[in-house]
Structure 1
Amino acid sequence: MGVVNQSSIFQRGLGTGRNIDVEITGPELEQIITLGREVLANVMQKLPGAQARPIPSLDLGNPEVQVRTHRRRAAELGISNRDLGFAVSALVDGVKASDFRFEGKEIDLMVIAAGNVAHRTHLLEQMPIATPDGRLVTLGSVAEISVVSGPTTINHKERQRTITIQVTPDEHMPLEQAMNIIQTEVLQPMKDGGRLGGLYQAGLSGSADKLTQTGRALRLNLLLALAITYLLMAALFESFLYPFVIMFSVPLAALGGFLGLAAVNKFISYQALDVLTMLGFIILIGTVVNNAILIVHQSLNHMKNEGMTPRHAIREAVRTRIRPIFMSVSTSVFGMLPLVLFPGAGSELYRGLGGVVMGGLIVSTVFTLFLVPALFSLSLDIRAALAVRLRRFLLSPHEADAR
């Protein structure tokens, strides 16, 4: 079974790449292998173009000798499973008893039988085993010895035997979509059929688990960036109303980011919504609010210093600030353009980030010049109307008529 794997440029050696690890755990190795074969077949059917390989192999082609203790007979002689396993290992291959350090190096202390005493695997039944009271019995009298076929490696996770099906989706399929297909169309039918559940469990790990953790962290960081931006502007403007108007430019930037990513996929090359691309949306939060800040701040200056009416002040602010807004946005967009258009090593890493930031800046700038002034004017009118009603509510009817 041939598998091609591309490691990350941030890792040394062979990394996990875009792999999804389906881990199947349970007590009986034969049942785990059966479930692994079913998962492997379903994955190859549900994910066309994907690569999948089991870790370790699903073939039981490695001959091994199994020693199964007769528990009742061993208990009568006072021999435990641990003591029996230690004795068999020492008389066949040798077993580690302890270790010590010498000149900074850790050296294992092995218990190995002498050459004339060591037993071969075909003579295990005649191996003498000492009981706690000093008697010698043969291994065949306290255990059943059989030659069977087994795996080359047995992996464990949380003390459970584990087989991993490593899946690498097609490069044009997002990793999250492949995870959903595996969960809903591969593992869930097996759970509904009773083949998974109870002692035998299956779950996703590897890059899939890291993607889930990264998605949660990015959502938290996005909310944190929104909160910090809003509170910072509220402290600078000394008002909770003006930052609320300014924050309306953020949804427009998100829309522009998705449009920019769609344009990159259609006209340049395929670009998935990876972690760096999602980071572009967080960058947009602190970037697109600058244009709205210019308009709101300049309008407040006109109303405070020159005594203009709100609507006149807003129109004048847009007229005087439209040029610096377009100049700053143009420099940012043309600065990002090489990240999107130019090919080369590593270009696919930053292409999505550049496309999201460019699309967000362009769309947000165009709509900000229309939406933010309108919302700012509407909010000022609503605040003035509420102030009049509140004043009338707090004052007596006679004082209100006098005013």
Structure 2
Amino acid sequence: NKKLWQRITCFVMTSTNSRIKRLSLAASLLILPVVISIIAIPKLDYLPPVKRDAIDANLQFPPGSNVKTIEREIIQPMVERLKPYMDGTKEPALKNYYIFGGSFGGSLGVRVKDQDRVDELLEIVKNEILIDLPDTRVFARQGNLFGGFGGGRQVQVHLQSKDTKALQEMARQGIDWIKAAIEGANVNANPGLSMSEPEINLSPNDRNILEQGWNRRDVGRVVRTLGDGLYVGEYFNGSKRLNMILRADGWDDPDNLGDVPVVTGNGSVTPLSNLVDIQRTVGPSRLTRIDGQRTISLNVNPPKGWSLEETISVLKSQIEPKLRNIMPDDGNIQYGGSADQLDKAISVMAENFAFALVILFLLMAALFKSIKDSLLVVITIPLATVGGILALQLLNLTVFQPLDLLTMIGFIILLGLVVNNAILLVHQTRLGQQDGLERTDAIEQALTLRLRPIFMSTATSFFGMLPLLLMPGAGSVIYRGLAAVIVGGLAFSTIFTIVLLPCLLRLSKHDFFLGQNLDHGEINAVQQLPSDRVKA
């Protein structure tokens, strides 16, 4: 073993024994990792794509259907189709299932006994359990551990406009375009696109409103009191605050709404129908507003093997331009769901990473009592980063592994692991110099004494994380990315740190002068030669 450490030490000292070697080696090991990291960084995601041993389905019932009709025509057929699988007469056998629903819609959850047969169960649910349900739209997929039906990997495209018909047409076109661009994606609109729910449309009569001393806002307040109520303030009862809602009676049928008497701004009494034109029509099941704008959201669940970054990129580059071409003048497009959460997570993780670097630098400066030595330790971190990124790329050759939130945490953990090797070398080098050794001799002594502890500490962390990376099983996908980052970062940084750090420690200001061709060791050797040999 002693010969092995001596060989490695000899190789490192030989690789850094001239100014050209030191400068070229330092430049390549500092610049190349940053370039490779930027080029090879994997696609970003929010949460790991962790699947459960269950199938989840979302059901959109026919508009206007009542509970009894839903139970008779939709729920009961589903229960009868699931019964042989629950009894075990058909395979795969089920552990349990649930169904709940109402006029708003419903959900189905089915869990299989044999977890390895989840994919088979998904096909059965799609092609046997959920087919031929009258006027019902269904969306089935394998259940996710995180984030409910969307699994924390749902991108929401919010389409906004005052024109309801144009908004619904945009949504219909958007669904078709998204399914064509992202094959296998589940896309649905929320709220639904059917115009079959009874609706009362009130259009203000501006001339009559002004004659009565009011404006549109005043009429809007009156109409709200006739509906769900108007918020007028808060009441504090000594322990908590309660909202005060003003609500008026006076009508129980749409035909009677126009006859409701209203006391106007000039003190006269007039029926509501003189101030607004009332029309009975049909509309969507409900209205959704985001930032005060009427909105229809397209919920996009990417297929297996697609990261959130890829999905968002396709939506913004291919789908959004088409939607903007057909949207009304007041139209707008926003992104939400995991897309918005991903942006926030990346921002927070970047801040945490930078904060960890600053804390690490300050701690090292306090321990070494030298900003220069602290900088030497911190500057080796890019080697670990590129190792983690390359490990993720290698992992993606066999399984899908995006750069998700837990994987990003692995890079922060890596900061505290990879600096240990640099600390050992820098500290031992400074101890040797304090004992009177020349810088080159102190570096060589530090390598000889510290290589074994460095490889021992690295090996314990490396092999400790290796089972999380290699061993399959339930839940292994949660920590697989994190383990890949730590294993790759440790392996890569350890090998190159023992080359880069001695190179940086041997650098001096003379190495940066183009006219200087000899390093300190060569200058000292020349100065110690006899005068006649120097002349020769």
Is the TM-score greater than 0.5? yes
**Distance in 2 between residues matched to 1:143 and 1:43, nearest whole Å:** 41
Identify the match of residue 245 of structure 1 among 368, 371, 376.
376
Residue 287 of structure 1: aligned partner: 417
Residue 176 of structure 1: aligned partner: 309
Residue 497 of structure 2: aligned partner: 368
Residue 227 of structure 1: aligned partner: 358
Q: Which amino acid aligns with 1:176?
A: E
Question: TM-score scaled to structure 1, two decimals?
Answer: 0.80
Question: TM-score scaled to structure 2, two decimals?
Answer: 0.62
- Worse-matched range after superposition: 43-52 or 239-248: 239-248
The structure-2 alpha-carbon separation of the partners of 1:103 and 1:9, relative to structure 1 and needing over 3 Å to count, comes to farther
Q: Could you tell me whether the CA contact under 8 Å between 1:265 and 1:271 is conserved in 2?
A: yes
Residue 395 of structure 2: aligned partner: 264
The structure-2 alpha-carbon separation of the partners of 1:53 and 1:379, relative to structure 1 and needing over 3 Å to count, comes to farther
Residue 129 of structure 1: aligned partner: 261
Percentage identity across paired residues of the two chains:
34
Correspondence 1:111 to 2:248:
yes
- Worse-matched range after superposition: 309-318 or 252-261: 309-318
SS across alignment from 2:396: helix
User: Shift of the alpha carbon at 1:143?
Assistant: 3.9
- Aligned residue pairs, count: 377
Correspondence 1:148 to 2:281:
yes
Correspondence 1:158 to 2:287:
no
SS across alignment from 2:138: coil
Correspondence 1:303 to 2:433:
yes
Q: Could you tell me whether the CA contact under 8 Å between 2:229 and 2:245 is conserved in 1?
A: no
Q: Could you tell me whether the CA contact under 8 Å between 1:256 and 1:363 is conserved in 2?
A: yes
SS across alignment from 1:22: strand
Q: Which amino acid aligns with 1:71?
A: D
SS across alignment from 1:271: coil
Residue 18 of structure 1: aligned partner: 153
User: Shift of the alpha carbon at 1:348?
Assistant: 1.1
**Distance in 2 between residues matched to 1:77 and 1:383, nearest whole Å:** 86
Correspondence 1:51 to 2:182:
no
User: Shift of the alpha carbon at 1:286?
Assistant: 2.2
Q: Which amino acid aligns with 1:153?
A: R
Q: Could you tell me whether the CA contact under 8 Å between 2:385 and 2:489 is conserved in 1?
A: yes
Residue 36 of structure 1: aligned partner: 171
SS across alignment from 2:481: helix
**Distance in 2 between residues matched to 1:222 and 1:304, nearest whole Å:** 34
The structure-2 alpha-carbon separation of the partners of 1:97 and 1:221, relative to structure 1 and needing over 3 Å to count, comes to closer
User: Shift of the alpha carbon at 1:343?
Assistant: 3.0
Q: Could you tell me whether the CA contact under 8 Å between 1:6 and 1:17 is conserved in 2?
A: no
The structure-2 alpha-carbon separation of the partners of 1:135 and 1:344, relative to structure 1 and needing over 3 Å to count, comes to same
- After superposition, the C-alpha distances for 1:132-165 in whole angstroms (9 at most, x for unaligned) are 4776655555543333221111111222111111
Q: Could you tell me whether the CA contact under 8 Å between 1:21 and 1:164 is conserved in 2?
A: yes
**Distance in 2 between residues matched to 1:182 and 1:121, nearest whole Å:** 42
SS across alignment from 2:198: strand
Q: Could you tell me whether the CA contact under 8 Å between 2:262 and 2:272 is conserved in 1?
A: no
SS across alignment from 2:451: helix
Correspondence 1:355 to 2:484:
yes
User: Shift of the alpha carbon at 1:212?
Assistant: 0.7
**Distance in 2 between residues matched to 1:33 and 1:318, nearest whole Å:** 70
Residue 397 of structure 1: aligned partner: none
User: Shift of the alpha carbon at 1:299?
Assistant: 1.8
User: Shift of the alpha carbon at 1:354?
Assistant: 0.6
**Distance in 2 between residues matched to 1:97 and 1:289, nearest whole Å:** 59
Residue 72 of structure 1: aligned partner: 207
Q: Which amino acid aligns with 2:287?
A: I
Q: Which amino acid aligns with 1:369?
A: I
**Distance in 2 between residues matched to 1:326 and 1:101, nearest whole Å:** 67
- After superposition, the C-alpha distances for 1:101-159 in whole angstroms (9 at most, x for unaligned) are 9998979775333xxxx45334656x253454776655555543333221111111222
Residue 2 of structure 1: aligned partner: 138
**Distance in 2 between residues matched to 1:67 and 1:351, nearest whole Å:** 57
- Worse-matched range after superposition: 240-249 or 165-174: 240-249
**Distance in 2 between residues matched to 1:270 and 1:315, nearest whole Å:** 44
Q: Could you tell me whether the CA contact under 8 Å between 2:146 and 2:152 is conserved in 1?
A: no
- Worse-matched range after superposition: 65-74 or 152-161: 65-74
Gaps of 5+ in 2: 1-136, 521-536
Identify the match of residue 236 of structure 1 among 367, 375, 381.
367
SS across alignment from 1:49: coil
Q: Could you tell me whether the CA contact under 8 Å between 2:224 and 2:230 is conserved in 1?
A: no
User: Shift of the alpha carbon at 1:202?
Assistant: 0.3
- Worse-matched range after superposition: 236-245 or 203-212: 236-245
The two structures, once aligned, show a CA RMSD in angstroms of 3.5
**Distance in 1 between residues matched to 2:220 and 2:321, nearest whole Å:** 40
The structure-2 alpha-carbon separation of the partners of 1:63 and 1:369, relative to structure 1 and needing over 3 Å to count, comes to same
Q: Could you tell me whether the CA contact under 8 Å between 2:166 and 2:327 is conserved in 1?
A: no
The structure-2 alpha-carbon separation of the partners of 1:145 and 1:360, relative to structure 1 and needing over 3 Å to count, comes to same
User: Shift of the alpha carbon at 1:87?
Assistant: 6.8
Q: Which amino acid aligns with 1:286?
A: G
User: Shift of the alpha carbon at 1:383?
Assistant: 9.1
Residue 277 of structure 1: aligned partner: 407
